[in-house]
Amino acid sequence: MMSPTTAAAATATAAAFLSAAPASSSSTHRRRSRRAAISASLSSEEPLLIRAARGEDGLPRPPAWMMRQAGRYMASYQALSKRHPSFRERSETTDLIVEITLQPWHAFAPDGVILFSDILTPLPAIGVPFDISESKGPVIQSPVRTEEQVRELVPIDLDKLQFVGESLKILRSEVTPIHLRA
């Protein structure tokens, strides 16, 4: 059984991704039908994605969400990227993280969101500076290659990662159905 803290974290992570469809008259009908199914699945005590993750039987349908990368094709993401060309800025600024994470949620109404972030985000908090070059990708100024370099890493400075918790808190309130909010 999940602890309340784990369940809360899973709910926050899960509560936002689902009904992608191009804008045509038949797709509009599919999208409305999909939204009705979403509403029905949210009428229970917990989001469909959480219920599926717990292995609950008898769900009305499988949950759906999107990989974070799937949103890159969206015009709204591309426009935001032009206004904020630094990937680090986009992935380390609370307002931008929330906006980018919610773009697919607003467009497609999926069952869960995936936080817009990067796997390298914690590196500066342990003393490993990096940047992301548009042409090269991630560039770590001082790669950690030896056991000695591992020993030189500093304990994680969580103050340097506050934007992660702040973003999750905002996203949880944005994607949690009103009747489930505490």
Residue-averaged pLDDT of the chain: 78
Buried b (16+ CB within 10 A) or exposed e, 14-30: bbbbbbbbeeeeeeeee
Residue 153 in this model has a pLDDT that exceeds 70: yes
First and final CA of the chain: distance in angstroms?
21
More confident residue, 59 or 10: 59
Return d(Cα 108, Cα 16) in angstroms, integer: 9
Number of domain units in the chain: 1
Q: Which residues contact 41 (CB under 8 A, 6 or more apart)?
A: 47, 48, 59, 60, 61, 63, 111
| pTM of the shown model | 0.70
Range of the domain at 14: 4-180
CATH of the domain at 167: 3.20.20.210
Q: What is the pLDDT of residues 102-133, one digit of tens each?
A: 998 898 888 888 999 999 999 999 999 999 98
